[in-house]
Structure 1
Protein backbone atom coordinates (compact mmCIF):
# COMPACT_ATOMS: atom_id res chain seq x y z
CA UNK A 1 0.00 0.00 0.00
CA UNK A 2 1.67 3.26 -1.06
CA UNK A 3 0.58 6.68 0.12
CA UNK A 4 -0.09 8.98 -2.80
CA UNK A 5 0.26 12.73 -2.28
CA UNK A 6 -2.59 15.11 -3.06
CA UNK A 7 -5.46 12.77 -2.26
CA UNK A 8 -7.66 12.04 0.72
CA UNK A 9 -5.93 9.68 3.14
CA UNK A 10 -7.36 7.18 5.59
CA UNK A 11 -5.54 8.12 8.78
CA UNK A 12 -5.51 6.51 12.20
CA UNK A 13 -4.58 9.07 14.86
CA UNK A 14 -3.63 7.60 18.22
CA UNK A 15 -3.24 9.97 21.15
CA UNK A 16 -5.71 12.86 21.23
CA UNK A 17 -4.36 14.87 24.14
CA UNK A 18 -3.45 18.56 24.41
CA UNK A 19 -1.40 18.35 21.21
CA UNK A 20 -2.87 15.38 19.37
CA UNK A 21 -6.51 16.49 19.58
CA UNK A 22 -6.05 19.77 17.68
CA UNK A 23 -3.68 18.09 15.21
CA UNK A 24 -6.20 15.38 14.36
CA UNK A 25 -8.86 18.06 13.96
CA UNK A 26 -6.73 19.93 11.41
CA UNK A 27 -6.38 16.75 9.35
CA UNK A 28 -10.17 16.37 9.35
CA UNK A 29 -10.51 19.99 8.20
CA UNK A 30 -8.00 19.29 5.44
CA UNK A 31 -10.39 16.69 4.05
CA UNK A 32 -8.86 13.47 5.33
CA UNK A 33 -10.72 10.52 6.81
CA UNK A 34 -9.39 10.45 10.37
CA UNK A 35 -10.16 7.72 12.86
CA UNK A 36 -9.06 8.57 16.39
CA UNK A 37 -8.27 6.56 19.48
CA UNK A 38 -7.34 7.67 22.97
CA UNK A 39 -7.45 6.04 26.40
CA UNK A 40 -9.97 8.69 27.44
CA UNK A 41 -13.38 8.91 25.69
CA UNK A 42 -13.82 12.70 25.74
CA UNK A 43 -11.17 13.60 23.13
CA UNK A 44 -12.41 10.81 20.86
CA UNK A 45 -15.92 12.23 21.11
CA UNK A 46 -14.61 15.72 20.30
CA UNK A 47 -12.90 14.43 17.17
CA UNK A 48 -16.10 12.65 16.10
CA UNK A 49 -18.04 15.89 16.59
CA UNK A 50 -15.59 17.60 14.23
CA UNK A 51 -16.22 15.02 11.51
CA UNK A 52 -13.69 12.37 12.43
CA UNK A 53 -14.42 8.78 13.34
CA UNK A 54 -14.21 7.20 16.77
CA UNK A 55 -12.38 3.95 17.46
CA UNK A 56 -12.61 1.88 20.63
CA UNK A 57 -9.13 0.38 20.27
CA UNK A 58 -5.81 0.70 18.46
CA UNK A 59 -6.78 -2.31 16.34
CA UNK A 60 -10.04 -0.66 15.23
CA UNK A 61 -8.31 2.63 14.43
CA UNK A 62 -5.56 0.99 12.38
CA UNK A 63 -7.70 -1.60 10.59
CA UNK A 64 -8.19 0.31 7.32
CA UNK A 65 -5.55 3.02 7.69
CA UNK A 66 -3.04 4.02 5.03
CA UNK A 67 -1.26 6.28 7.50
CA UNK A 68 -0.98 5.88 11.27
CA UNK A 69 0.03 8.87 13.40
CA UNK A 70 0.96 8.41 17.04
CA UNK A 71 1.18 11.32 19.50
CA UNK A 72 1.71 9.97 23.01
CA UNK A 73 3.70 11.24 26.01
CA UNK A 74 6.89 9.18 26.25
CA UNK A 75 8.93 6.11 25.27
CA UNK A 76 6.93 3.55 27.30
CA UNK A 77 3.69 4.72 25.67
CA UNK A 78 5.16 4.48 22.16
CA UNK A 79 6.49 0.99 22.86
CA UNK A 80 3.11 -0.11 24.21
CA UNK A 81 1.02 1.48 21.46
CA UNK A 82 3.27 0.48 18.55
CA UNK A 83 5.14 -2.65 19.65
CA UNK A 84 2.62 -4.15 22.08
CA UNK A 85 0.84 -7.45 21.42
CA UNK A 86 -2.29 -5.56 20.34
CA UNK A 87 -0.45 -2.50 19.04
CA UNK A 88 -0.10 -0.77 15.71
CA UNK A 89 2.33 -3.24 14.16
CA UNK A 90 0.09 -6.17 15.07
CA UNK A 91 -2.69 -4.73 12.92
CA UNK A 92 -1.22 -2.39 10.28
CA UNK A 93 -1.17 -3.65 6.69
CA UNK A 94 2.15 -3.92 4.85
CA UNK A 95 3.00 -0.61 3.18
CA UNK A 96 1.32 1.48 5.87
CA UNK A 97 3.20 4.64 6.79
CA UNK A 98 3.64 5.07 10.54
CA UNK A 99 4.45 8.64 11.62
CA UNK A 100 5.38 8.89 15.28
CA UNK A 101 5.08 12.51 16.40
CA UNK A 102 5.83 11.84 20.06
CA UNK A 103 8.99 13.18 21.69
CA UNK A 104 11.08 10.14 22.63
CA UNK A 105 14.67 8.90 22.53
CA UNK A 106 16.33 8.32 19.16
CA UNK A 107 16.96 4.73 20.29
CA UNK A 108 13.25 4.01 20.63
CA UNK A 109 12.63 5.43 17.15
CA UNK A 110 15.30 3.08 15.79
CA UNK A 111 13.70 0.12 17.59
CA UNK A 112 10.28 1.02 16.20
CA UNK A 113 11.67 1.35 12.67
CA UNK A 114 13.40 -2.05 12.88
CA UNK A 115 10.28 -3.80 14.17
CA UNK A 116 8.11 -2.06 11.57
CA UNK A 117 10.42 -3.07 8.73
CA UNK A 118 9.97 -6.72 9.69
CA UNK A 119 6.22 -6.46 8.95
CA UNK A 120 6.56 -4.17 5.92
CA UNK A 121 5.54 -0.93 7.63
CA UNK A 122 7.44 2.27 6.85
CA UNK A 123 8.24 4.77 9.60
CA UNK A 124 9.04 8.42 10.17
CA UNK A 125 9.94 10.02 13.49
CA UNK A 126 8.40 13.48 13.35
CA UNK A 127 8.37 15.23 16.74
CA UNK A 128 7.04 18.75 16.94
CA UNK A 129 7.75 22.06 18.65
CA UNK A 130 5.30 24.83 19.36
CA UNK A 131 3.28 23.57 22.30
CA UNK A 132 -0.49 23.64 22.60
CA UNK A 133 -0.74 27.04 20.91
CA UNK A 134 1.24 25.80 17.93
CA UNK A 135 -0.95 22.72 17.65
CA UNK A 136 -4.17 24.73 17.87
CA UNK A 137 -2.97 27.31 15.33
CA UNK A 138 -1.38 24.68 13.03
CA UNK A 139 1.95 26.50 13.13
CA UNK A 140 4.09 23.73 14.58
CA UNK A 141 7.71 23.18 13.67
CA UNK A 142 8.09 19.54 12.61
CA UNK A 143 11.48 17.83 12.37
CA UNK A 144 11.36 14.55 10.47
CA UNK A 145 13.70 11.58 10.42
CA UNK A 146 13.40 8.64 8.01
CA UNK A 147 13.61 7.83 4.33
CA UNK A 148 13.44 10.85 2.01
CA UNK A 149 10.79 9.22 -0.19
CA UNK A 150 8.53 8.60 2.80
CA UNK A 151 8.98 12.21 3.89
CA UNK A 152 7.88 13.43 0.44
CA UNK A 153 4.72 11.32 0.73
CA UNK A 154 3.99 12.51 4.27
CA UNK A 155 4.69 16.18 3.67
CA UNK A 156 1.14 17.12 2.51
CA UNK A 157 -0.21 15.78 5.80
CA UNK A 158 2.44 17.45 7.91
CA UNK A 159 1.93 20.84 6.27
CA UNK A 160 -1.67 20.74 7.53
CA UNK A 161 -0.20 20.72 11.04
CA UNK A 162 2.78 23.04 10.86
CA UNK A 163 4.45 25.85 8.97
CA UNK A 164 8.02 24.58 9.29
CA UNK A 165 8.32 20.99 8.08
CA UNK A 166 11.88 19.81 7.51
CA UNK A 167 13.46 16.45 6.72
CA UNK A 168 16.52 16.42 9.00
CA UNK A 169 18.04 13.02 8.23
CA UNK A 170 17.60 9.26 8.65
CA UNK A 171 15.56 7.46 11.30
CA UNK A 172 16.18 8.95 14.75
CA UNK A 173 17.36 12.30 13.42
CA UNK A 174 13.99 13.91 14.09
CA UNK A 175 14.19 12.93 17.75
CA UNK A 176 17.80 14.15 17.99
CA UNK A 177 16.83 17.57 16.64
CA UNK A 178 13.82 17.67 18.98
CA UNK A 179 16.13 17.00 21.92
CA UNK A 180 18.25 19.98 20.86
CA UNK A 181 15.07 22.04 20.51
CA UNK A 182 14.02 21.23 24.06
CA UNK A 183 17.47 22.12 25.34
CA UNK A 184 17.25 25.56 23.72
CA UNK A 185 13.66 26.17 24.87
CA UNK A 186 14.44 25.27 28.48
CA UNK A 187 17.46 27.55 28.43
CA UNK A 188 15.42 30.42 27.02
CA UNK A 189 12.68 29.93 29.62
CA UNK A 190 15.14 29.86 32.49
CA UNK A 191 16.98 32.99 31.36
CA UNK A 192 13.69 34.80 30.67
CA UNK A 193 12.54 33.88 34.19
CA UNK A 194 15.77 35.28 35.65
CA UNK A 195 15.40 38.47 33.60
CA UNK A 196 11.83 38.97 34.87
CA UNK A 197 12.85 38.61 38.49
CA UNK A 198 15.81 40.96 37.89
CA UNK A 199 13.53 43.58 36.29
CA UNK A 200 10.94 43.31 39.06
CA UNK A 201 13.62 43.71 41.73
CA UNK A 202 14.78 46.86 39.93
CA UNK A 203 11.25 48.27 39.80
CA UNK A 204 11.23 48.54 35.99
CA UNK A 205 7.93 48.46 34.07
CA UNK A 206 7.81 44.89 32.78
CA UNK A 207 5.66 45.56 29.72
CA UNK A 208 7.94 48.27 28.39
CA UNK A 209 11.08 46.31 29.21
CA UNK A 210 9.85 43.18 27.46
CA UNK A 211 8.79 45.21 24.40
CA UNK A 212 12.35 46.47 24.05
CA UNK A 213 13.93 43.09 24.70
CA UNK A 214 11.61 41.44 22.19
CA UNK A 215 12.58 43.89 19.48
CA UNK A 216 16.31 43.33 19.83
CA UNK A 217 18.76 40.46 19.82
CA UNK A 218 17.22 39.13 23.03
CA UNK A 219 13.93 38.55 21.22
CA UNK A 220 12.73 34.98 20.76
CA UNK A 221 9.61 32.92 20.15
CA UNK A 222 9.81 31.88 23.79
CA UNK A 223 9.63 35.53 24.89
CA UNK A 224 6.80 36.29 22.46
CA UNK A 225 4.68 33.29 23.42
CA UNK A 226 5.38 33.11 27.15
CA UNK A 227 5.76 36.71 28.34
CA UNK A 228 2.07 37.33 29.08
CA UNK A 229 1.65 34.11 31.04
CA UNK A 230 4.82 34.70 33.03
CA UNK A 231 3.94 38.29 33.88
CA UNK A 232 0.41 37.23 34.90
CA UNK A 233 1.60 34.07 36.68
CA UNK A 234 -0.85 32.05 34.58
CA UNK A 235 0.76 28.64 34.31
CA UNK A 236 -2.15 26.75 32.78
CA UNK A 237 -0.31 23.89 31.07
CA UNK A 238 0.34 24.10 27.36
CA UNK A 239 3.48 22.00 27.85
CA UNK A 240 3.95 20.65 31.36
CA UNK A 241 7.18 20.80 33.32
CA UNK A 242 6.82 17.03 33.79
CA UNK A 243 7.15 16.54 30.03
CA UNK A 244 10.02 18.97 29.71
CA UNK A 245 11.77 17.09 32.51
CA UNK A 246 11.40 13.92 30.42
CA UNK A 247 12.82 15.72 27.39
CA UNK A 248 15.78 17.09 29.34
CA UNK A 249 16.53 13.54 30.39
CA UNK A 250 16.57 12.54 26.73
CA UNK A 251 18.98 15.29 25.72
CA UNK A 252 21.36 14.79 28.63
CA UNK A 253 21.45 11.01 28.19
CA UNK A 254 21.95 11.32 24.43
CA UNK A 255 24.66 13.93 24.91
CA UNK A 256 26.47 11.67 27.37
CA UNK A 257 26.39 8.81 24.85
CA UNK A 258 27.75 11.12 22.14
CA UNK A 259 30.39 12.70 24.36
CA UNK A 260 28.85 16.14 23.79
CA UNK A 261 29.32 18.56 26.72
CA UNK A 262 26.25 20.35 28.09
CA UNK A 263 27.59 22.57 30.89
CA UNK A 264 24.67 25.02 30.87
CA UNK A 265 22.09 22.49 29.68
CA UNK A 266 22.89 20.14 32.55
CA UNK A 267 22.30 22.94 35.04
CA UNK A 268 18.99 23.84 33.41
CA UNK A 269 17.97 20.16 33.54
CA UNK A 270 18.59 20.23 37.30
CA UNK A 271 16.48 23.38 37.65
CA UNK A 272 13.62 21.68 35.75
CA UNK A 273 13.96 18.71 38.09
CA UNK A 274 13.89 21.08 41.08
CA UNK A 275 10.65 22.60 39.80
CA UNK A 276 9.08 19.13 39.82
CA UNK A 277 10.41 18.45 43.30
CA UNK A 278 8.70 21.66 44.47
CA UNK A 279 5.34 20.50 43.12
CA UNK A 280 5.32 22.40 39.83
CA UNK A 281 5.42 19.39 37.48
CA UNK A 282 1.81 19.78 36.34
CA UNK A 283 2.25 23.46 35.47
CA UNK A 284 3.33 24.94 32.14
CA UNK A 285 7.09 25.03 31.67
CA UNK A 286 6.92 28.83 31.97
CA UNK A 287 6.55 28.09 35.70
CA UNK A 288 10.34 27.82 35.83
CA UNK A 289 9.79 31.43 36.91
CA UNK A 290 8.55 30.15 40.26
CA UNK A 291 11.91 28.53 40.96
CA UNK A 292 13.76 31.79 40.41
CA UNK A 293 11.22 33.60 42.55
CA UNK A 294 11.77 31.10 45.36
CA UNK A 295 15.50 31.76 45.18
CA UNK A 296 14.81 35.52 45.26
CA UNK A 297 12.45 35.26 48.22
CA UNK A 298 9.53 36.60 46.18
Structure 2
Protein backbone atom coordinates (compact mmCIF):
# COMPACT_ATOMS: atom_id res chain seq x y z
CA UNK A 1 0.00 0.00 0.00
CA UNK A 2 1.22 3.53 -0.74
CA UNK A 3 -1.19 5.32 1.59
CA UNK A 4 0.73 7.26 4.21
CA UNK A 5 -0.97 7.59 7.59
CA UNK A 6 -0.10 10.02 10.35
CA UNK A 7 -1.22 8.68 13.74
CA UNK A 8 -1.30 11.08 16.69
CA UNK A 9 -1.63 9.55 20.16
CA UNK A 10 -0.08 6.23 21.17
CA UNK A 11 -1.93 5.56 24.42
CA UNK A 12 -3.65 2.41 25.65
CA UNK A 13 -5.91 2.42 22.59
CA UNK A 14 -3.82 4.31 20.07
CA UNK A 15 -0.70 2.15 20.17
CA UNK A 16 -2.37 -1.16 19.23
CA UNK A 17 -4.51 0.63 16.62
CA UNK A 18 -1.47 2.21 14.97
CA UNK A 19 0.37 -1.11 15.16
CA UNK A 20 -2.48 -2.89 13.37
CA UNK A 21 -2.27 -0.32 10.55
CA UNK A 22 1.47 -1.00 10.20
CA UNK A 23 0.85 -4.75 10.10
CA UNK A 24 -1.81 -4.20 7.44
CA UNK A 25 0.87 -2.69 5.22
CA UNK A 26 0.28 1.04 5.68
CA UNK A 27 3.16 3.52 5.95
CA UNK A 28 2.45 4.88 9.43
CA UNK A 29 4.25 7.89 10.91
CA UNK A 30 3.21 8.31 14.55
CA UNK A 31 3.65 11.06 17.09
CA UNK A 32 3.16 10.85 20.84
CA UNK A 33 3.97 13.45 23.49
CA UNK A 34 5.91 10.92 25.57
CA UNK A 35 8.39 8.42 24.16
CA UNK A 36 6.86 5.12 23.07
CA UNK A 37 8.19 2.02 21.33
CA UNK A 38 6.43 1.55 18.00
CA UNK A 39 6.76 -0.78 15.00
CA UNK A 40 6.24 2.02 12.48
CA UNK A 41 8.04 5.35 12.07
CA UNK A 42 8.14 7.69 15.07
CA UNK A 43 7.98 11.39 14.24
CA UNK A 44 9.51 14.12 16.37
CA UNK A 45 6.57 16.50 16.01
CA UNK A 46 2.99 16.73 14.81
CA UNK A 47 4.17 18.59 11.70
CA UNK A 48 6.69 15.86 10.88
CA UNK A 49 4.05 13.15 11.21
CA UNK A 50 1.36 15.01 9.26
CA UNK A 51 3.33 16.47 6.37
CA UNK A 52 2.56 14.52 3.17
CA UNK A 53 0.10 12.22 4.98
CA UNK A 54 -2.91 11.02 3.01
CA UNK A 55 -4.81 10.10 6.18
CA UNK A 56 -4.40 11.59 9.66
CA UNK A 57 -5.74 9.67 12.66
CA UNK A 58 -5.97 11.30 16.09
CA UNK A 59 -6.61 9.26 19.24
CA UNK A 60 -6.47 11.62 22.21
CA UNK A 61 -7.91 11.75 25.75
CA UNK A 62 -10.34 14.68 25.70
CA UNK A 63 -11.84 17.62 23.81
CA UNK A 64 -9.18 20.17 24.87
CA UNK A 65 -6.46 17.79 23.64
CA UNK A 66 -8.12 17.44 20.25
CA UNK A 67 -8.62 21.20 19.97
CA UNK A 68 -4.96 21.85 20.81
CA UNK A 69 -3.53 19.13 18.59
CA UNK A 70 -5.77 19.75 15.58
CA UNK A 71 -6.48 23.48 15.74
CA UNK A 72 -3.33 24.81 17.44
CA UNK A 73 -0.71 26.96 15.73
CA UNK A 74 1.58 23.94 15.33
CA UNK A 75 -1.26 21.48 15.01
CA UNK A 76 -2.57 19.09 12.43
CA UNK A 77 -4.38 21.59 10.21
CA UNK A 78 -1.31 23.84 10.08
CA UNK A 79 0.66 21.09 8.30
CA UNK A 80 -1.95 18.86 6.64
CA UNK A 81 -1.99 18.75 2.85
CA UNK A 82 -5.08 19.96 1.06
CA UNK A 83 -7.40 17.03 0.45
CA UNK A 84 -5.99 14.97 3.33
CA UNK A 85 -8.51 12.95 5.35
CA UNK A 86 -8.60 13.63 9.10
CA UNK A 87 -10.18 10.89 11.23
CA UNK A 88 -10.54 11.84 14.87
CA UNK A 89 -11.12 8.65 16.86
CA UNK A 90 -11.04 10.28 20.28
CA UNK A 91 -14.14 10.47 22.49
CA UNK A 92 -15.00 14.18 22.70
CA UNK A 93 -18.03 16.45 22.75
CA UNK A 94 -20.18 16.57 19.61
CA UNK A 95 -19.70 20.36 19.59
CA UNK A 96 -15.91 19.98 19.45
CA UNK A 97 -16.26 17.46 16.63
CA UNK A 98 -18.36 19.93 14.64
CA UNK A 99 -15.84 22.71 15.34
CA UNK A 100 -12.99 20.52 14.08
CA UNK A 101 -14.97 19.58 10.96
CA UNK A 102 -15.67 23.24 10.16
CA UNK A 103 -12.04 24.27 10.66
CA UNK A 104 -10.86 21.34 8.55
CA UNK A 105 -13.20 22.32 5.73
CA UNK A 106 -11.79 25.86 5.81
CA UNK A 107 -8.30 24.35 5.48
CA UNK A 108 -9.30 22.09 2.59
CA UNK A 109 -9.09 18.96 4.73
CA UNK A 110 -11.85 16.32 4.89
CA UNK A 111 -12.84 15.38 8.45
CA UNK A 112 -14.66 12.55 10.19
CA UNK A 113 -15.42 11.98 13.87
CA UNK A 114 -15.03 8.25 14.44
CA UNK A 115 -14.98 7.31 18.14
CA UNK A 116 -14.68 3.68 19.09
CA UNK A 117 -15.98 1.13 21.56
CA UNK A 118 -14.40 -2.16 22.55
CA UNK A 119 -11.62 -1.21 24.92
CA UNK A 120 -7.97 -2.14 24.82
CA UNK A 121 -8.65 -5.74 23.79
CA UNK A 122 -10.80 -4.59 20.89
CA UNK A 123 -8.00 -2.27 19.80
CA UNK A 124 -5.48 -5.11 19.98
CA UNK A 125 -7.74 -7.52 18.10
CA UNK A 126 -8.85 -4.97 15.49
CA UNK A 127 -12.44 -5.71 16.48
CA UNK A 128 -13.57 -2.26 17.61
CA UNK A 129 -17.02 -0.86 16.98
CA UNK A 130 -16.56 2.43 15.12
CA UNK A 131 -19.34 5.02 14.80
CA UNK A 132 -18.59 7.62 12.15
CA UNK A 133 -19.89 11.15 11.64
CA UNK A 134 -19.22 13.18 8.50
CA UNK A 135 -20.06 13.01 4.82
CA UNK A 136 -20.91 9.67 3.22
CA UNK A 137 -18.24 10.25 0.57
CA UNK A 138 -15.50 10.82 3.14
CA UNK A 139 -16.70 7.79 5.09
CA UNK A 140 -16.26 5.59 2.02
CA UNK A 141 -12.76 7.00 1.50
CA UNK A 142 -11.89 6.14 5.12
CA UNK A 143 -13.50 2.70 5.13
CA UNK A 144 -10.36 0.66 4.17
CA UNK A 145 -8.43 2.18 7.07
CA UNK A 146 -11.30 1.87 9.54
CA UNK A 147 -11.92 -1.77 8.62
CA UNK A 148 -8.38 -2.61 9.73
CA UNK A 149 -9.24 -1.23 13.16
CA UNK A 150 -12.81 -2.38 13.65
CA UNK A 151 -15.20 -5.24 13.00
CA UNK A 152 -18.28 -2.99 13.07
CA UNK A 153 -17.83 0.23 11.08
CA UNK A 154 -20.99 2.30 10.58
CA UNK A 155 -21.70 5.76 9.17
CA UNK A 156 -24.25 7.32 11.56
CA UNK A 157 -24.79 10.82 10.17
CA UNK A 158 -23.20 14.26 9.68
CA UNK A 159 -20.33 15.78 11.65
CA UNK A 160 -20.72 15.22 15.39
CA UNK A 161 -23.01 12.21 14.99
CA UNK A 162 -20.27 9.72 15.77
CA UNK A 163 -19.61 11.44 19.08
CA UNK A 164 -23.31 11.52 19.91
CA UNK A 165 -23.59 7.77 19.34
CA UNK A 166 -20.43 7.23 21.41
CA UNK A 167 -22.03 9.18 24.27
CA UNK A 168 -25.04 6.86 24.08
CA UNK A 169 -22.67 3.89 24.07
CA UNK A 170 -20.93 5.10 27.22
CA UNK A 171 -24.28 5.66 28.89
CA UNK A 172 -25.28 2.05 28.27
CA UNK A 173 -21.87 0.65 29.26
CA UNK A 174 -21.73 2.57 32.54
CA UNK A 175 -25.26 1.55 33.48
CA UNK A 176 -24.54 -2.08 32.67
CA UNK A 177 -21.31 -2.12 34.67
CA UNK A 178 -23.21 -0.66 37.60
CA UNK A 179 -25.90 -3.35 37.40
CA UNK A 180 -23.34 -6.16 37.05
CA UNK A 181 -21.52 -4.75 40.09
CA UNK A 182 -24.77 -4.73 42.06
CA UNK A 183 -25.62 -8.27 40.96
CA UNK A 184 -22.19 -9.62 41.96
CA UNK A 185 -22.39 -7.91 45.36
CA UNK A 186 -25.93 -9.20 45.85
CA UNK A 187 -24.95 -12.77 44.94
CA UNK A 188 -21.85 -12.69 47.13
CA UNK A 189 -23.91 -11.48 50.09
CA UNK A 190 -26.02 -14.61 49.72
CA UNK A 191 -22.92 -16.86 49.53
CA UNK A 192 -23.60 -17.88 45.90
CA UNK A 193 -20.70 -19.30 43.90
CA UNK A 194 -20.05 -16.36 41.58
CA UNK A 195 -18.43 -18.01 38.56
CA UNK A 196 -21.24 -20.49 37.79
CA UNK A 197 -23.78 -17.78 38.61
CA UNK A 198 -22.23 -15.51 35.98
CA UNK A 199 -22.15 -18.39 33.49
CA UNK A 200 -25.88 -19.00 33.79
CA UNK A 201 -26.73 -15.28 33.77
CA UNK A 202 -24.65 -14.79 30.64
CA UNK A 203 -26.60 -17.54 28.87
CA UNK A 204 -29.99 -15.97 29.49
CA UNK A 205 -31.74 -12.68 28.83
CA UNK A 206 -29.37 -10.96 31.28
CA UNK A 207 -26.44 -11.85 29.03
CA UNK A 208 -24.28 -8.89 27.95
CA UNK A 209 -20.74 -7.98 26.94
CA UNK A 210 -19.89 -6.72 30.43
CA UNK A 211 -20.61 -10.16 31.90
CA UNK A 212 -18.58 -11.74 29.10
CA UNK A 213 -15.56 -9.45 29.29
CA UNK A 214 -15.49 -7.91 32.75
CA UNK A 215 -17.14 -10.23 35.28
CA UNK A 216 -14.13 -12.51 35.76
CA UNK A 217 -11.89 -9.57 36.60
CA UNK A 218 -14.54 -8.10 38.88
CA UNK A 219 -14.85 -11.40 40.76
CA UNK A 220 -11.06 -11.53 41.13
CA UNK A 221 -10.89 -7.83 42.01
CA UNK A 222 -8.40 -7.35 39.19
CA UNK A 223 -8.87 -3.92 37.67
CA UNK A 224 -5.94 -3.46 35.29
CA UNK A 225 -7.14 -0.65 33.04
CA UNK A 226 -8.60 -1.47 29.67
CA UNK A 227 -10.66 1.71 29.93
CA UNK A 228 -9.96 3.90 32.95
CA UNK A 229 -12.56 5.30 35.31
CA UNK A 230 -11.10 8.77 34.68
CA UNK A 231 -12.00 8.50 30.99
CA UNK A 232 -15.45 7.08 31.58
CA UNK A 233 -16.12 9.86 34.08
CA UNK A 234 -15.19 12.34 31.33
CA UNK A 235 -17.48 10.60 28.84
CA UNK A 236 -20.42 10.62 31.24
CA UNK A 237 -19.91 14.34 31.69
CA UNK A 238 -20.43 14.64 27.92
CA UNK A 239 -23.59 12.52 28.21
CA UNK A 240 -25.06 14.59 31.03
CA UNK A 241 -24.26 17.93 29.33
CA UNK A 242 -25.55 16.79 25.95
CA UNK A 243 -28.75 15.41 27.47
CA UNK A 244 -29.34 18.67 29.32
CA UNK A 245 -28.78 20.69 26.14
CA UNK A 246 -31.32 18.53 24.29
CA UNK A 247 -33.87 18.51 27.13
CA UNK A 248 -33.60 14.72 27.50
CA UNK A 249 -34.17 13.03 30.88
CA UNK A 250 -31.57 10.38 31.80
CA UNK A 251 -32.43 9.42 35.39
CA UNK A 252 -30.56 6.11 35.32
CA UNK A 253 -27.66 7.69 33.47
CA UNK A 254 -27.42 10.46 36.06
CA UNK A 255 -27.06 7.86 38.81
CA UNK A 256 -24.39 6.01 36.79
CA UNK A 257 -22.52 9.30 36.36
CA UNK A 258 -22.68 9.93 40.11
CA UNK A 259 -21.35 6.46 40.86
CA UNK A 260 -18.49 6.90 38.39
CA UNK A 261 -17.72 10.25 40.00
CA UNK A 262 -17.70 8.57 43.40
CA UNK A 263 -15.26 5.94 42.13
CA UNK A 264 -12.95 8.71 40.99
CA UNK A 265 -13.31 10.58 44.29
CA UNK A 266 -12.39 7.38 46.14
CA UNK A 267 -9.08 7.29 44.28
CA UNK A 268 -9.94 4.66 41.66
CA UNK A 269 -9.56 6.89 38.60
CA UNK A 270 -6.61 4.99 37.17
CA UNK A 271 -8.36 1.61 37.47
CA UNK A 272 -10.55 -0.08 34.88
CA UNK A 273 -14.14 1.17 34.83
CA UNK A 274 -15.24 -2.22 36.15
CA UNK A 275 -13.81 -1.00 39.50
CA UNK A 276 -17.22 0.61 39.91
CA UNK A 277 -17.74 -2.63 41.86
CA UNK A 278 -15.65 -1.11 44.66
CA UNK A 279 -18.14 1.72 45.06
CA UNK A 280 -21.08 -0.69 45.28
CA UNK A 281 -19.21 -2.79 47.82
CA UNK A 282 -18.39 0.27 49.91
CA UNK A 283 -22.02 1.38 49.84
CA UNK A 284 -23.01 -2.13 50.89
CA UNK A 285 -20.34 -2.18 53.59
CA UNK A 286 -18.93 -5.30 52.00
CA UNK A 287 -15.30 -4.35 51.14
CA UNK A 288 -13.05 -6.92 49.47
TM-score normalised over the length of structure 1 = 0.95
Alignment partners' CA distance in 2, 1:137 and 1:233: 24
**Residue 245 of structure 1 corresponds to which residue in structure 2?**
233
Selected match of 2:166 from 178, 191, 203: 178
Selected match of 2:55 from 67, 72, 78: 67
**Residue 126 of structure 2 corresponds to which residue in structure 1?**
138
Alignment partners' CA distance in 1, 2:3 and 2:211: 37
Alignment partners' CA distance in 1, 2:281 and 2:68: 39
> 1:234-269 deviations in whole A, cap 9, x for unaligned?
011110000000000001100100111101100110
**Residue 203 of structure 1 corresponds to which residue in structure 2?**
191
Report how many aligned residue pairs link the two structures.
286
1:125 aligns with 2:113: yes
Deviation at 1:8, TM superposition (A): 3.4
Alignment partners' CA distance in 2, 1:61 and 1:8: 16
Deviation at 1:154, TM superposition (A): 0.5
**Residue 251 of structure 2 corresponds to which residue in structure 1?**
263
Selected match of 1:39 from 27, 33, 42: 33
1:16 aligns with 2:4: no
Selected match of 1:274 from 262, 276, 280: 262
Deviation at 1:64, TM superposition (A): 1.3
Q: Tell me the secondary structure at the aligned position of residue 209 of structure 1.
A: helix
Deviation at 1:71, TM superposition (A): 0.1
1:288 aligns with 2:282: no
Q: Tell me the secondary structure at the aligned position of residue 159 of structure 1.
A: helix
1:152 aligns with 2:155: no
Deviation at 1:179, TM superposition (A): 0.1
Matches within 5 A, 1:153-168: 153-168=141-156
Runs of 4+ in 1 over 6 A off after TM superposition: none
Deviation at 1:297, TM superposition (A): 1.1
1:58 aligns with 2:46: yes
> 1:49-95 deviations in whole A, cap 9, x for unaligned?
x2x11100000000110100000000010001000000000000110
Gaps of 5+ in 2: none
TM-score normalised over the length of structure 2 = 0.98
Alignment partners' CA distance in 2, 1:188 and 1:8: 43
Gaps of 5+ in 1: 1-6
Alignment partners' CA distance in 1, 2:135 and 2:163: 14
**Residue 169 of structure 1 corresponds to which residue in structure 2?**
157
Deviation at 1:168, TM superposition (A): 0.4
Selected match of 2:218 from 202, 212, 230: 230
> 1:80-124 deviations in whole A, cap 9, x for unaligned?
100000000000011000000000000000000111111100100
Alignment partners' CA distance in 2, 1:268 and 1:55: 40
Alignment partners' CA distance in 2, 1:227 and 1:155: 33
